[in-house]
C-alpha cells in the first residue's frame, strides 16, 4: 500500500514538474520588433506589443551610433491601410573606418486589409544630411509583406523592390535627400494574418568621421482602386467643369 502511495506521489510530482516546464518554455512573444546590426554584429532587438511603437532604440558599436526615435505599426490594420513607420533614424560616425548598418523593423498579426480585392504596396524613405558622408557611401530601402506572418521576415514573395537611386540629393552632400519610390506592387491574393517588414541598409565609406544624418521611412498596403471607380471619377470631371463655368458666368 505504501509503495502505491509513493508511486502516486512521485507521478503527481513529475506531472507538476512537466507542467511547470511547459509553462516556462514558451516566453511571450513581442510582435513589433526593431533590430539594429552594425558591422555584422546583430544586437538584441527592441520590442513592443503588436500595433504599438518602440521608442529610443539606441545602439553604439565600433564608433557608430544608431538612434531610432520610433518604430511603429497599425497592426492588425484596418480596411483602408496596413502600415509600418520608422521615424527619425539618426546615424553618427566617430571614426574614419568603413562601416555597414542595417535597420530592420516590422510587425506581425495584420488582419486587414486582405486580398482579393487587390492591394497596392508602396514604400518611401527620405531624410537630411547634417555632415556629409565620404564619397562612395550609400543608403538603400526595401519593404516586404509575408503571408506566413514571420517576425521581421523578408521573403521574395511580396516586396516593393530595392530602392537604391536618389531622386533628390544624396548622403555624400549636406542637405535633404530622398530615394525614388519603388514601383507600387499589386497583390492579388493575401490572407490574414500576415506580417510587414522594412529594411534600411547603409554603407559608410572610409573617411566619414564626423558624419551625421537623419532619415524616416514608411510602408503601406492599401486597397487598389477598381478600374470602374477610376473611370467613374474621370467621367465626373466634365460635369464639374460645367458647374464651374456656369458659376463663373453667373
Note the pLDDT of residue 5: 46
Chain CA centroid to CA 237, Å: 37
Query: 148-194 pLDDT, tens per residue?
Result: 999 999 998 999 999 999 999 999 999 999 999 888 999 999 999 99
The CATH number given to 31-226 is 2.60.40
- Ordered by start, the domain boundaries in the chain are 31-226
User: What does pTM read for this prediction?
Assistant: 0.80
Q: For residues 162 and 182, is the Cβ–Cβ distance under 8 A?
A: yes
Note the pLDDT of residue 182: 82
How far apart, in whole angstroms, are the C-alpha atoms of residue 14 and residue 18?
6
DSSP 8-state symbol, 155: -
Ranges in the chain, pLDDT < 50: 1-28, 228-237, 239-245, 247-248
Tell me the three cell numbers of residue 121. Answer: 504596396
Query: Mapping DSSP to helix (H, G, I), strand (E, B) and coil, where does residue 201 land?
Result: strand
How far apart, in whole angstroms, are the C-alpha atoms of residue 133 and residue 210?
8
* CA dist 66 → 10, 22, 53, 86, 244 (Å): 54, 38, 17, 13, 53
Amino acid at each position: 500500500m505504501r509503495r502505491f502511495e509513493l508511486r502516486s506521489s512521485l507521478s503527481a510530482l513529475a506531472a507538476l514538474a512537466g507542467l511547470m516546464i511547459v509553462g516556462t518554455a514558451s516566453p511571450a512573444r513581442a510582435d513589433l520588433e526593431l533590430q539594429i546590426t552594425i558591422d555584422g554584429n546583430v544586437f538584441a532587438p527592441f520590442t513592443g506589443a503588436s500595433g504599438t511603437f518602440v521608442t529610443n532604440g539606441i545602439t553604439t558599436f565600433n564608433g557608430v551610433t544608431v538612434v531610432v526615435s520610433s518604430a511603429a505599426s497599425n497592426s492588425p490594420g484596418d480596411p483602408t491601410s496596413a502600415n509600418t513607420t520608422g521615424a527619425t533614424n539618426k546615424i553618427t560616425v566617430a571614426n574614419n573606418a568603413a562601416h555597414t548598418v542595417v535597420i530592420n523593423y516590422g510587425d506581425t498579426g495584420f488582419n486587414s486589409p486582405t486580398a482579393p480585392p487587390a492591394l497596392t504596396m508602396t514604400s518611401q524613405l527620405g531624410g537630411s544630411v547634417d555632415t556629409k558622408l565620404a564619397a562612395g557611401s550609400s543608403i538603400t530601402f526595401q519593404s516586404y509583406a509575408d503571408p506566413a506572418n514571420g517576425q521581421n521576415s523578408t521573403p521574395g514573395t511580396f516586396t516593393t523592390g530595392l530602392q537604391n537611386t536618389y531622386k533628390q540629393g544624396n548622403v555624400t552632400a549636406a542637405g535633404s535627400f530622398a530615394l525614388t519610390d519603388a514601383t507600387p506592387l499589386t497583390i492579388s491574393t493575401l490572407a490574414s494574418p500576415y506580417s510587414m517588414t522594412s529594411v534600411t541598409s547603409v554603407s559608410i565609406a572610409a573617411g566619414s568621421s564626423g558624419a551625421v544624418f537623419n532619415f524616416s521611412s514608411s510602408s503601406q498596403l492599401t486597397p487598389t482602386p477598381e478600374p470602374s471607380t477610376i473611370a467613374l471619377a474621370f467621367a465626373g470631371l466634365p460635369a464639374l467643369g460645367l458647374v464651374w463655368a456656369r458659376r463663373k458666368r453667373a
